[in-house]
Amino acid sequence: MLAALELAKRGLGNAWPNPSVGCILVKNFTKKNKSEIIGRGWTQPGGRPHAEIVALKQANYKTLNAIAFVTLEPCCHIGKTSPCIKEIIRSGISKVVVACRDPDPRVSGRGLLQLKNAGIEVVYGVCKKEAEKLNEGFFKKIKIGRPMVTVKVATTIDGCIATRSGDSKWITGDLSRQQGHLLRAKHDAVLVGVGTVIKDDPSLTCRLPGMKKFSPIRIIIDTALRTPLSSQLVRTSRSYPTWIFTNKIETSSRVKIFRKNGVHVISLANQKTKNKVPLRTVMKKLAQEGITRVLVEGGSKVITSFMREQLVDHLVLFRSTKIIGSNGLTVAGNLKIERLLNAISFNRTSIRESGEDVVESYER
């Protein structure tokens, strides 16, 4: 099952709106020195085909009495493709080992029941916690109606993300920036505020060799629709989708101009917040669009807003060896916390070196 989980990781960031699942098919599993992996698969871009179908095709459906190790309960509802359960039953597989149930109410428990009713042995719960953690974003989308949120920050030793003038290129080294690009590839969407767009004109693509096709949806929080039409995010929106959340009304001439340029503009003008885009509404809308994993890259105002709204699930700090001092721009602005008891707390899950930098990962 651990090997199937490693396969599932390959689909993170491009399997949405579906979860990323791994599947391994094995023959002669109980026979010493004779067990053979006959098929491997993981969820493909856009969520189809599913991992089980990929593995079955790799095995040429020569799967009589084989065992399937699957990281998530196989689907049993009819969507755009035939249910995986039917294909598994037809294949002659005799045993299915499942890590965790699908939280989708159309599937949850029903897939396992159909397998049992077909005479297939079912083992449930192997590496359950690991499997649920891997698809945390999908589980959050189904259960609480929002995607998983990761905040990524490049910071100095003293917690600054830029000098007072806004200079931030580059706080961290090449290796850390490469890992930052990999984080983009492993998320469905990357989100910034309009201030970052105006100041830095970022592309927000994954620029690792051969991985540009895994670039996430680019999202801008832009209350008054100030994003320059000349920005990279607008100019490249037909190749790499750009979405803007704004308070401008649907019939605004500026909204129409952006849409003509290929930008997906989501107007929240009917909301009661005039001076800011309501982040909880943004997260709800993203979940409705199928987004399960969001990477927030800044700037400080946006990060502060996410912190205030208690929307940050994971925090990744790339900490350099530099010091800027008290006049530098900090990771978060005023969170209106007066007592230490009310401080936002995270649990550190890992710390490792990245060239001269240190990468610290936290979760709530």
Active site residue ranges:
52
Query: How far is it, in rounded angstroms, from Cα 104 to Cα 141?
Result: 10
Query: How far is it, in rounded angstroms, from Cα 241 to Cα 270?
Result: 24
Which H or E element spans position 69? strand 67-70
**With the CA atoms of 110, 111, 113 and 116 taken in that order, what torsion angle do they form, in degrees rounded to the nearest 10?**
170
User: 112 φ, ψ to 5°?
Assistant: -60, -40
- If we measure between CA atoms, which residue out of 37, 38, 57, 14 comes closest to residue 241? 14
Query: How far is it, in rounded angstroms, from Cα 313 to Cα 362?
Result: 8
- If we measure between CA atoms, which residue out of 113, 109, 19 comes closest to residue 71? 19
For the chain, what's the residue count? 364
